[in-house]
Amino acid sequence: MKTPRKLILYLAVLSAALLTLSAQEPAPSPGGETAAPTIVSGPSDAMQLVEVDWMHELKQGGMTIVALGVLSVALLAFTLERLITMRRDRFVPEGLTMKVLPLHASGQDEQILAHCKRQPSTLSRIIEYFVEHRNADVQVLGQVAADIGYREITEQEQRNTAFAVIAALAPLLGLLGTMIGMIESFKLVEVFGDEGGASMLAGAISKALITTAVGLLLAIPAIAIYHIFKYRLHKISGTLEHETEKLVTDWFVKKGAAEAAYYKQYYEKMQAQQAVAEQDTPPLSQSV
């Protein structure tokens, strides 16, 4: 499989930009002389002079950044797994119900099972159970079908909780790293006193706050992805329930109603024939 040229070009440009940003350093003045101080006229000029080396700040985060990095890899892996697993075809293949619906009345069970094997899914397993227990009570069939769907939907809900766990752990880890950094910052002030001044304290605090920022950057997309997959799962669950109800109604409820109407008609016919026979039979006194 060939990689598209545009994708290669985009990756090359992105890599070049990242390398440029990471390697960017203030250039020394010509001849090794110290450059003249820049006059700052306002807040906008000050913001232009301040350049944050984010890679350097991340390296200063310590083991907390490592733990958050592991969480970021886990978030990416879980997202890819959910994108692959939570497709509608794995639960309710489109068109499967319409394919098998007319086959049940004619007793073509082998073709129904063949369709289910070609499209393995939760709905296929429910249909296979219906075929294997076609003579069971309709209430039992409906209950078992609901149990099959519930088990598989519940399993997917449990897998989605990984995003909620990451969304809860990431800001807490970030806050822990910040608290550790703040303790180290005040220890610096305790050791050096006023020699370092505000610049030392501000630098140490900025390094401590980077862990909280990274934790929030992980938590925000994690909670968003969790709710996206939760909504998708509920939508799939509703579709599965609708298709199952359609099968139960067409295969068993209508069939049972038709059989009941047939027996009722037969019983009424027998009663009418018996009434006619009684009318045609002369009384015992007349026959004597």
Per-residue pLDDT tens digits for 209-236: 888 888 999 999 999 999 999 999 999 9
* Helix-then-strand count for the chain, H and E: 11, 0
The pLDDT of residue 67 is 87
Determine the Cα–Cα distance for residues 244 and 128; give it in Å rounded to an integer.
12
Q: How far is CA 22 from CA 15, 18, 58, 218, 238, in A?
A: 11, 6, 12, 22, 49
Determine the Cα–Cα distance for residues 226 and 162; give it in Å rounded to an integer.
8
The pLDDT of residue 195 is 62
Determine the Cα–Cα distance for residues 216 and 195; give it in Å rounded to an integer.
34
Per-residue pLDDT tens digits for 145-192: 999 999 999 999 999 999 999 999 999 998 888 888 787 777 777 776
DSSP string covering 114-170, please? HHHHHS-SHHHHHHHHHHHTTTS-HHHHHHHHHHHHHHHHHHHHHHHHHHHHHHHHH
Per-residue pLDDT tens digits for 241-253: 999 988 888 888 7
Mean pLDDT of 70-87: 92
User: Comparing 239 with 49, which gets the higher pLDDT?
Assistant: 239
Domain extents for the chain? 53-252
Per-residue pLDDT tens digits for 131-149: 888 888 888 888 899 999 9
Do the beta carbons of residue 122 and residue 97 sit within 8 Å? Answer: no
